[in-house]
Amino acid sequence: MSSWLVVLFCAIALGIGLAVGRYSRRDPVPDEPQLPSVPPDALIVAIESGAAALFVGNQDDVLEATEPARAMGLARGNRVASPRTLELVRSVRRTGLADHAMIERPGSTTAAPVNLALSVAPLRDGVVVVLARDISEERRIDLSRRDFVTNISHELKTPIGAIALLSEAVEQASDDPEMVVRFATRMQRESARLTELVQQIITLSRLQSDDPLREAKAVDISAVVRRAVDRLGSAARARRVALTVSDREPGDVIGDGSQLIDAVANLVANAIAYSHEGARVAVTCSRRRIGDDEVIEIAVTDNGIGIAEADQERIFDRFYRVDPDRSRASGGTGLGLSIVKLVAEAHGGTVSLWSKVGSGSTFTLRLPAWIPPLQPEPSNTDQEVAS
């Protein structure tokens, strides 16, 4: 190699070395500011679990939101929709401690408000995760339970208070046999009303805890109607109400026979109580096809006072009475129709009402008919063996 090439190579090497040395002595270039991001693992867990999760950045912007979270209205675009939720997010980011709260999100013009339980926790880089759970149904059940207990307390106080007063009246009228008989008769009536109320409460409680289809068996609807009507025969005669049955032998349903008898008896008792003396109550049971399914219908029709349209929406509510004075006079508890609805739903059926004030009412209980499995036709070999 010529000498001048060696000199050139050394000069290039020296230049590179000086450049590298200058670069290594330069102050480090500051990193670009990193934008906050959602931890991938947290996002994957939220999506795959179907959780309603909202990930909020350090500028209160929504970084990620699962579909359930958007469906609940937690986010609108890239911002937190609820002021209360945003307040929780800022508090958690500031303290670094998780927090929990319940909020109420207004529903649509026709829907009830939505109650949400929120769990808010800090992640890294100022990111906060919000987990939401819809507890609207739980709140509704809790309110219903509290209303039920309140109504029971009120309903029990009436006959118990009446019995206490009547017992004092009997004691004070001990020297007047006629008054004693009068007060004792009232006591018997209030005692019967109290017994009926307690029995209805027990029935309602059992319906809410038992599944009639767990140990279900085929139940003959004709027998159900016959036994229910027999139970109300004396009440119909006392009010001179003509009680008739039209049985078209509809067949069987799968379920609990005693519950079905109670349901039909409640419909018949209700028809008798709200009919004028000398009126007519007709019970019909038949089988019909609706689409591809077969149902059994039990209809109880009266020509009594009827039910106003405004009352029809609440007629199946517990303790609701169209005419409280008439109901109490007839010994009604306000639970009969709610029991009918529970029995119908537990058996996969429905109960509906048609009514017109002054013309009467028809309550129709529809239940899925039991269709026995088809028996396979005998083969030629079987026929030859049988012969």
CATH code 3.40.50.300 for 139-209 = no
CATH superfamily label, 212-373: Histidine kinase-like ATPase, C-terminal domain (3.30.565.10)
**Cβ-based neighbour number of residue 61 at 10 Å:** 13
Q: In this predicted structure, what is the pLDDT of residue 185?
A: 85
What CATH architecture applies to the domain 40-134?
2-Layer Sandwich (3.30)
pLDDT value of position 375:
58
Please give the pLDDT value at position 14.
Answer: 35
* Strand 280-290, strand 242-247: pairing: parallel
Check residue 227 and give its pLDDT: 95
Identify residue 387 by its one-letter amino acid code: S
DSSP code per residue over 146-179: HHHHHHHHHHHHHHHHHHHHHHHHHHHTTT-HHH
- Report the 3 state secondary structure along 295-357: EEEEEEEECCCCCCHHHHCCCCCCCCCCCHHHHHHCCCCCCHHHHHHHHHHHCCCEEEEEEEC
Cα 193 → chain centroid: 29
* pLDDT computed for residue 95 by the predictor: 92
User: CA-CA distance, 361 to 304, in Å (whole number)?
Assistant: 7
* Residue 311 · residue 305 · CB < 8 Å: no
Pairing of strands 62-65, 52-56: antiparallel
pLDDT confidence of residue 242? 92
pLDDT one digit per residue (tens) for the chain, 387 residues: 444 333 333 333 334 343 334 433 444 444 444 556 666 666 676 676 778 888 999 899 999 888 888 888 888 888 998 889 999 999 999 999 999 988 887 655 455 678 899 999 998 888 999 998 888 878 777 776 676 666 666 667 777 888 888 888 888 888 888 888 888 888 888 887 787 777 777 777 666 666 666 667 889 999 999 999 999 999 899 889 999 999 888 889 998 898 899 999 999 998 998 888 888 999 999 999 888 889 999 999 998 888 888 788 788 877 666 655 555 554 556 788 888 998 998 888 999 999 988 888 999 999 999 887 765 555 555 555 555
- Segments making up each domain of the chain, as ranges: 40-134, 139-209, 212-373
Q: What is the pLDDT of residue 284?
A: 95
pLDDT for the residue 147: 65
Query: Whole-prediction pTM value?
Result: 0.54
Cα–Cα distance for residue pair 169/146, rounded to 1 Å: 35
